[in-house]
Amino acid sequence: MSVDHCFSIKGQGTVMTGTILSGSISLGDSVEIPALKVVKKVKSMQMFHTPVTSAMQGDRLGICVTQFDPKLLERGLVCAPDTLYTVHAAIISVEKIPYFRGPLQTKSKFHITVGHDTVMGRLLFFSPASDSFDQEPLLDSFDFSQEYLFQEQYLCKDMAPAITDSDKTHKAGQAPEGHYPRQQWALVEFEKPVTCPRLCLVIGSRLDADIHTNTCRLAFHGILLHGLEDKNYTESFLPTLKVYKLKHKHGLVERAMDDYSVIGRSLFKKETNIQLFVGLKVHLSTGEQGVIDSAFGQSGKFKIHIAGGLSPESKKILTPVLKKRGRAGRGEAAKQEEGTERPEPTQHVSLSLSFKRYIFDTHKRMVQSP
């Protein structure tokens, strides 16, 4: 029941008036005020000044309880005991309000209205994988068995930046070729806990915007699909939410060591722990697929094992052209330089490394498709 007024009547008790949103109630039932963790017994009930013994969904009702200070509850929810829960975060479906100007960006804060409560909340947007953008929306549930693609912002026609010829990679928060998902979600982290039923309406707004400007302050609406009751949800729950970022790295093959091994560079920084990437697959621009085998030296180079071996064409490309740096001179330094050669590949062979990284994975593991 949504309570919009709470007052006391001398000699009777405290009356809470409002509208029954779901279920029914009878005289003598116990009701809970979940925001206060208080349970009281119904002493009497009235509908439009007429005493009643029961009421149901849709009815306007006043219920009288005893030994409850009306100052503790101005507006809020009353329910059957243990049917509403206080949540610290929630997964919601999101639909942008077209009249709102500006992007809905991950990590941004909005005023989140749930029932009678309006609190600040920080959002993180995600969508289906790009090949599942056309899947049928789930309106009343959330599938935790699926994987979801992290987005820098809510994807829609008027917000996603166009991809230029000079920027061939799709950044998070962009949809390929103007293709947008039929359903998107957000993780909302509330600054203060809220009490609400499942599948309730959620409204996001910018109430701090200037009311004198001709702009819409309502940004989005959605349905609360799953509430997180545990205060430590970042440790107990979020690792089970499979939201990932797609990572792409590019480098070069420096030279071939033998028919089954090459040395790569320019894929990692000097300080990168290459051991974390050992076992990941890389693709050569010449068509071969290899696996990162180990670090090579201390400058960010690494060894790649190619199980199928280099093709004759690749070996020809990676065969270095030997150039002498100079002739022998006099003295020890000259002897050391004598015959020193610098290998130069006939043309560049590029490397590409792609993997998923789950943003709530505490171990920061990198995962590749089979």
185 near 90, Cβ under 8 Å? no
Buried b / exposed e over 279-299, threshold 16 CB at 10 Å, is: ebbbebbbebebebbebbeee
Q: Who has greater pLDDT, 169 or 180?
A: 180
The contacts found for 255-259 with CB under 8 angstroms, 24 or more apart, are 255/318, 255/320, 255/343, 255/345, 256/310, 256/314, 256/315, 256/318, 256/319, 257/303, 259/309, 259/310, 259/315
Residue in 219, 224, 243, 225 with CA at minimum distance from that of residue 104: 219
| C-alpha span between 285 and 267 (Å, rounded) | 14
Segment 100-144, tens digit of pLDDT = 988 999 999 999 999 778 999 999 999 998 888 888 888 889 999
Segment 264-317, tens digit of pLDDT = 999 999 888 999 899 999 999 999 999 999 999 888 999 999 999 999 988 888
**H and E: helices and strands count for the chain:** 3, 26
Q: Which residue has the tokens 């015959």?
A: 339
Query: Are β-strands 341-344 and 321-324 bridged in parallel, bridged antiparallel, or unpaired?
Result: antiparallel
pTM flag (> 0.85): no
Q: How many residues does the chain have?
A: 370
